[in-house]
Amino acid sequence: MFAQIVGALGIAASLFIYQQKDRSHLLIWKLISDVLWASHYLLLGAYTAMAISTIAVFREIVFFNRQKRWASSKLWYFFFMGCVVGSAVLTWKTPASLLPAVASLLSVTGFYIGNPRLSRILVFPISGAMLTYDLTCDSYMGIVNEVLTILSAILGILRARREQKRRATEAPTSRAT
């Protein structure tokens, strides 16, 4: 039960992430969210997701300090990708253990590329992998979180399409005279 309460707090912290107006506050809330999710998965004995969330805590610390020389190298991307793969190997229980690692590899790559459209598309395999993993480890709050994430992505895609159509209809038409 305590694990689910911590997961609920993780959902709440996740909701605050995208409400922030500046990068530093966004990263602070992401860090808080990652600590809560790592704790949630630890309490459930879901060690792969706990390890992935713990790696994310350190990734956020590096990203928060990106303006400093030690944190500005692109090698951090490869370091964290290696940590994700290594954690999947070290925490292996069943084939489901691969799901958080795959989700993390896709997520980090999507954010590294920095294309919002790609990020919205990647949400589906990422959340699908985590939803499946959450089902295997009885992470009810993880399930709720992934359903909310999928719904948010769908709304984001629909909003982007509506905005694209609106711009197309508002664009001035040129006439040859």
- Can you tell me the distance from the alpha carbon of 33 to that of 55, in angstroms, rounded to the nearest whole number? 13
Residue closest to 105 by CA, chosen among 92, 87, 131, 117: 87
Question: Is the entire prediction scored with pTM above 0.75?
Answer: yes
- Can you tell me the distance from the alpha carbon of 76 to that of 108, in angstroms, rounded to the nearest whole number? 11
Average pLDDT over every residue of 22-50: 91
**The pLDDT of residue 174 is above 70:** no
**The pLDDT of residue 6 is above 90:** yes
Token pair belonging to 58: 């350190």
- Can you tell me the distance from the alpha carbon of 153 to that of 159, in angstroms, rounded to the nearest whole number? 10
> Where do runs of H (alpha helix) occur along 18-137?
23-44, 47-64, 75-90, 98-113, 116-136
Fill in the amino acid letter for 20. Q
**The pLDDT of residue 177 is above 60:** no
Cα–chain center distance at 24: 17
pLDDT of residue 15: 81
Q: Considering just the CA atoms, what is the radius of gyration of the chain in Å? A: 18
pLDDT of residue 175: 56
Average pLDDT over every residue of 1-20: 88
Average pLDDT over every residue of 27-44: 93
* Residue-wise pLDDT tens digits, 61-85: 988 888 899 988 989 989 999 999 9
**The pLDDT of residue 59 is above 90:** no
Q: What is the DSSP letter of 138?
A: T
* Residue-wise pLDDT tens digits, 81-139: 999 999 999 999 999 999 999 999 998 887 777 676 787 788 899 999 999 999 999 99
- Can you tell me the distance from the alpha carbon of 161 to that of 142, in angstroms, rounded to the nearest whole number? 29
Burial class (CB in 10 A: 0-12, 13-18, 19+), 124: middle
Token pair belonging to 101: 């690692």
